[in-house]
Chains A and B, each alone.
Chain A
Amino acid sequence: MSDVPAIVLLSLLQLLLVLASAPLISGIIGKTKARFQNRQGAGILQPYFDLAKLLRKEVVVSPVASWVFRSTPYLVFASTLVIALLVPTVVVPVPLDWVGDIITVIYLFALGRFFVALVGLDTGSAFGGLGASREMSIASIIEPAMMLAIFTAAVTAGSTNLSVIVATLSSTPASMLNPAHLLAFSGLFIVTMAETGRIPVDNPDTHLELTMIHEAMILEYSGRYLAFIEWSSQMKLAIFLALLSNMFFPVGMATTLAPWALFVGCAAFFAKVIVLAAIVAVVESTNAKLRLFRVPELLMVAFILSLLALILYFIVGA
């Protein structure tokens, strides 16, 4: 996979896959949650209709807001798309794996979060400041847990290159059931729930000022800007689920560009991500949202799990 047209084509396909499947995953989570609440719920395609509607609506911008407000939706969307190019979904190795590793992925997410938090302060609304403050505080305690979980995966492969991590693991399937590996997975799962703003850390469906975090920052967004922000959040969730499934259970991934391998790869990707999405929905339905100052305790659990994973890796070996 060294020739340029193949790289471009494969990258574009990967981009389209994440771009197109992200709303579907959100739809599936929404539907599952609705069923848990004994509701019919909207169809799983509803997020697509929402995005299409938002893209057509006019945007309302406060005169207080600056260029930071107007450019952030594009920046967040673009940085999320770049992450989509770096994370293995269907094919491994990803053609652009040399551009950025797992650390880059984490810091690119941080870049998007930095600007969304600035937007919270840009319109002069108290809600924005509240959201920005909470988001940045929680993000800073997520980071150590996330880095340690990833550290475990990285030392196993001897690399931070995502494609190498995935390829190393899929060549030794037995180590997928290694206890260190499973502990790191559970640590990263908690991190995912926190990073993507899910119950028990944040509730993506709420607009209640006492509880909202992410929604509070983007409260002033409307129309097309809101569409980009929502779409980026959906992609972020999809990417995190892809990371969870492929960094820890890289089953069925395509290693060649043969049509059959690609088909199996796609099927495996959707199967894994949909299972994980369902788990996310179950966790969200069966837990209550934590009080803000209980969240650090939950993240401490994730940190300890990741640390245990490392210790186990050190004692047992991979």
Chain B
Amino acid sequence: MSAGYVLGALLPALTGILGWGRVKSPGALDGLVKNLGFTIALASSLAGCVLSLSILLSGDPLHVEIQQSLPFGTMALHADRLSAFFLGVISLIAAAVSVYSLGYAKEFLGRRNMALLVFLYNLFLLSMAGVVLSGHAFLFLFFWEGMSLTTYFLINYEHEDPAARRAAYLYVVMTHLGTALLVVMFVILFSHTGSFSFGAFRDPGSRLPTAVQSIVFLCATIGFGVKAGIIPFHIWLPEAHPAAPSNISALMSGVMIKMGIYGMVRVYFDFLGPDIPEWWGILILIVAVTSSVLGVLYALMEHDLKRLLAFHSIENIGIILMGVGGALLFASLGNRPLASLALLAGLYHVLNHATFKGLLFLGAGSVLHATHTRNIEELGGLVKRLPWTAFFFLVGAVAISALPPLNGFVSEWLTFQALLLGFHLSDLSVKIAVPLTVALLALTGALAAACFVKAFGITFLGLPRSDRAASAQESSFSMIAAMGSLALLCVVFGIAPGLVVSVLDPLVGSLPATSASGQVVLKGGMMLIPQSNSSSVSPLVLCGLIIAVTLVPIAAGYLLGGRMRRRAVMTWACGLQKIEPRMQYTATGFSKPIRMIFSNIFRATHEIEISDETSPYFRPDITYELKTESLFLKYLYEPAYRIIIGSARIFRRIQTGHIQTYLAYIFLTLVLLLLFAR
């Protein structure tokens, strides 16, 4: 599988080098590079799915030692159930995105360096697979950096756009902040265990002292949190994800941010468990609810379709962390069954978010492809022009809004169950944390539904608001097929939770802090929580019932009213001649009530500028500008930025630029070292 990605990366690179001179006037070669590169990626992803499934089903970890002469001990690839699950998530989404890219990348033919895109795309997939398969700290960091750098270049792919360059720069700064902390974490682990291999870290004989454990915990939370996009380390995410080409955005939002979650689960539950201080769980829960509520609130204010989806990724990372935080909290109180249930819910949401967010980004890419705008205020009526994209986007929207019977509902249901049962633990902080988390999870779900009514309704329904939207063309077959397959997965993971639970249950059971499997029992399509007093749900039967009882209104209509008679009449325009696209509600108008209700968070300011007041009755030019403020930029990043710049100014004074001064510094350092460090 890895060989496939390497091949996929190298072949196009070779052809790219061969065709270097032809980039400006590309012929058949670019098309060949594209087809070859993405087909190899597809094949490797499918191989990844098979490998992941074989590990998950058999439970035998994959262990490959790598011969090398570096002084960090034997390096090894090691894939246990946890690695295999994340490998499965990567491969599943990558397979769909590779199919999609076959069609989507046509847009770049003749305009951009196709070989570079294919090269980076394959390397990106390879490094993500490498991250989850690594069993050694150095290998892990190598792939982690590979992932960060390939995405840096991919965000920069359309580098003529200053916004893309800025986004990429912000991304690379933030992600290295995270990597720095990961290096610190691994060094601490090394200094206590004397080894860089993951096997030594998890060895129960080498448990760290509690204080050191907590430092490792904090390093992991921030280091992996930056990649996952938790608030307040999220600022790169809404800039970077929209700037990349849409197929890459789908991978970044659907899969790459999950690598942060993988790292957290690996460190918290594998390296550090099972004796956990209580405040860890509380901290993660606070991060989780902040990320989810603020993520969805910021998403509501966006009318750039891809930025909106990027903010939803922050929200969903929050929902995943509710499961992870709950698991930490319950594990710290010694309740392993509950911890297992909560972690299972979180991991289930990892898979679900990957499928529906991948799908939604692919849908957004299809809209972008057809209309060349991401601003939903210029769209509308696309359901008629892009029927398939619209339908699949709607499936994704229903899934992300956690509506039954699709997959988002199942994982949120499990999260609710874990939290509800947690309330019975006799611990004060649990009694406070749990109800608030439940209430805020409910708020998040409802706000997400509001946001996707806006996103789908304004983009796809009503009248087209611009010529671009009115003349849009449906995407090619490969793009539709890719979206269709992810939409199908959203349905399958929704109505057949047994497929996922049967894989996740032994996984959760294999981790020391949550070593209690069997927390979700499956009986004929029904999911039952044995710890509770028969709480259960059966999405399959639910789905069947909804379809079955649709007969009732159809029958009632025929029996009481006869055959349906339908007449087409234009929408009522309050007595005006005809309805104009400008009369419709806008996305900004749609989210106004939310903006008013949560005005403390948004601190919106608007300016109305009337430039030409020749006649009091006709005002030809009115500009309306609305700004919402980011609390984090203003109160966290700007002060931090000022401090860094300020201290750099102070240090600049010792930089004279004369070589004599620097020689003096070296001499002084030498003298000091001789004096104090003999």
Partners in one complex: yes
Residues of A within 8 A of B (CB): 15, 19, 52, 55-68, 73-75, 77-79, 81-82, 85, 96, 98-101, 103-104, 107-108, 110-111, 113-114, 117-118, 120-126, 128-130, 132-134, 136-148, 151, 154-155, 157-161, 164, 168, 219-220, 223-224, 227-228, 292-293, 296, 303, 307, 310, 314
| Shortest distance between the CB of B469 and any CB in chain A (Å) | 13
Pairwise interchain contact A114-B449, C-beta atoms closer than 8 A: yes
Q: Are B553 and A77 in contact (CB under 8 A)?
A: yes
- Nearest-CB residue, chain B, relative to A55: B561
Task: Pick the interface stretch among B192-200, B477-485, B541-549.
Answer: B541-549
Residues of the B chain whose Cβ atoms lie less than 8 Å from the Cβ of A19: 552
Instruction: Kindly report which residue of chain B lies nearest to residue A158, judged by CB atoms.
Output: B533
Q: Which of A121, A130, A144, A293 contacts B453 (CB 8 A)?
A: A121
Whether A164 pairs with B560 at a CB distance below 8 angstroms is: no
For the complex, is B108 an interface residue (Cβ under 8 Å from A)? no
Chain A CB count within 10 A is highest, among B438, B440, B457, B463, for B457
Cβ of B562 within 8 Å of any chain A Cβ, yes or no, is yes
Q: How many A-B residue pairs have CB under 8 A?
A: 272
Q: Is the CB of B538 within 8 A of A99?
A: yes
Enumerate chain A residues within 8 angstroms of B568, measured Cβ to Cβ: 60-63
Chain B 552-587, CB within 8 Å of chain A: the 1/0 string? 111011001110111111111110000101011100
The listed residue (A110, A157, A220) touching B571 by CB distance below 8 A is A220
- Asked if residues A124 and B567 are in contact (CB atoms below 8 Å), the reply is no
Known: A75-B546, A104-B413, A147-B439. 7 other contacts (CB 8 A): A64-B381, A68-B383, A96-B541, A100-B537, A101-B536, A126-B583, A147-B438
Are the CB atoms of A133 and B404 closer together than 8 Å?
A: no
Residues in B641-664 with C-beta less than 8 Å from chain A: none
Which listed segment binds A: B35-43, B211-219, B332-340, B416-424?
B416-424
Is there contact, CB below 8 Å, between B533 and A55? Answer: no
Query: In the complex, how many angstroms separate the beta carbon of B563 from the nearest chain A beta carbon?
Result: 10
Q: Determine if B594 and A140 form an interchain contact, defined as CB atoms under 8 angstroms apart.
A: yes
Q: Are B557 and A55 in contact (CB under 8 A)?
A: yes
Query: CB distance A74 to B554 under 8 Å?
Result: yes
Is the beta-carbon distance between B538 and A124 smaller than 8 angstroms? no
Does chain A have a CB within 8 A of B596? yes
Please tell me if the beta carbons of A129 and B584 are within 8 angstroms of each other in the complex. yes
Task: Give the CA-CA distance A111 to B403 in the complex, in Å.
Answer: 6
CB distance from A100 to the nearest CB of B (A): 5
Are the C-beta atoms of B420 and A58 separated by less than 8 Å? no
Tell me the bound Cα distance from A64 to B554 in angstroms.
24
- How far apart are B51's CB and chain A's nearest CB, in angstroms? 36
B605 on the interface (CB 8 Å rule)? no
B526 surroundings in chain A (CB, below 8 A) = 98-99
Closest to A85 in B: B545
How far does the alpha carbon of A35 sit from the alpha carbon of B447 in the complex, in Å?
39
Decide if B532 touches A159 in the complex (CB within 8 Å): yes
Contact A140 B450 (CB under 8 A): yes
Q: Name the prevailing secondary structure of the B interface residues.
A: helix
Q: Which residues of B contact A132 (CB under 8 A)?
A: 453, 457, 585, 590
B424 contacts A130, C-beta separation under 8 Å: no
Closest-by-CB residue of A relative to B409 is: A107
CB-CB contacts below 8 Å: B596-613 with A:
596-597
Given contacts A82-B542, A111-B398, is CB(A144)–CB(B533) below 8 Å? no
In the complex, whether B623 has a CB less than 8 A from a CB of chain A is no
Verify A61–B424 contact, CB threshold 8 A: no
Hey, which chain B residues are within 8 Å of A133, CB to CB?
A: 585, 589-593
25 contacts between A and B (CB under 8 A): A64-B462, A66-B383, A66-B390, A78-B553, A96-B545, A99-B538, A101-B535, A107-B402, A111-B398, A117-B453, A121-B462, A122-B457, A126-B574, A126-B584, A129-B584, A133-B589, A134-B593, A137-B450, A140-B449, A142-B446, A151-B420, A157-B533, A158-B533, A164-B533, A164-B535
Whether a CB of chain A sits under 8 angstroms from the CB of B456 is yes
Q: How far is the CB of B340 from chain A (nearest CB, A)?
A: 18
A151 adjacent to B533 (CB under 8 Å): no
Query: Taking the nearest CB of chain B, how far is it from the CB of A318, in angstroms?
Result: 12
For A145, the chain B residues whose CB sits under 8 A away are: 439
| Residue from B443, B553, B564, B590 in contact with A140 in the complex, judged by beta carbons closer than 8 Å | B443
Known: A15-B552, A63-B568. A128 touches B585 (CB 8 A): yes
Residues of chain A lying within 8 A (CB to CB) of residue B440: 144
A164 to B545, CA, bound (A): 21
Which B residues from 406 to 456 make CB contacts under 8 A with A?
409, 413, 416-417, 420, 423-424, 431, 435, 438-443, 445-447, 449-450, 452-454, 456
User: Which residues of B have CB within 8 Å of A157?
Assistant: 533
- Of A56, A100, A307, the residue contacting B435 (CB under 8 A) is A307
Q: Which residues of A contact B452 (CB under 8 A)?
A: 114
B534 at the interface (CB under 8 A from A): yes
Residue of A nearest to B382 (CB): A66
Report if A292-B593 is in contact (Cβ < 8 Å); known contacts: A126-B584, A161-B534, A168-B533: yes
B176 within 8 Å of A by Cβ?
Answer: no
Is B461 part of the binding interface, using a Cβ–Cβ cutoff of 8 Å?
yes
Give which listed residue, B381, B416, B549, B597, contacts A137 with CB less than 8 A.
Answer: B597
Given contacts A15-B549, A154-B420, contact A139 B449 (CB under 8 A): yes
The residue that B463 contacts in the complex, of A64, A77, A151, with Cβ under 8 A, is: A64
- In the complex, the 8 A-B pairs of residues with the closest C-beta atoms, listed nearest first: A129-B585, A121-B457, A159-B533, A136-B450, A137-B593, A55-B561, A147-B442, A140-B446
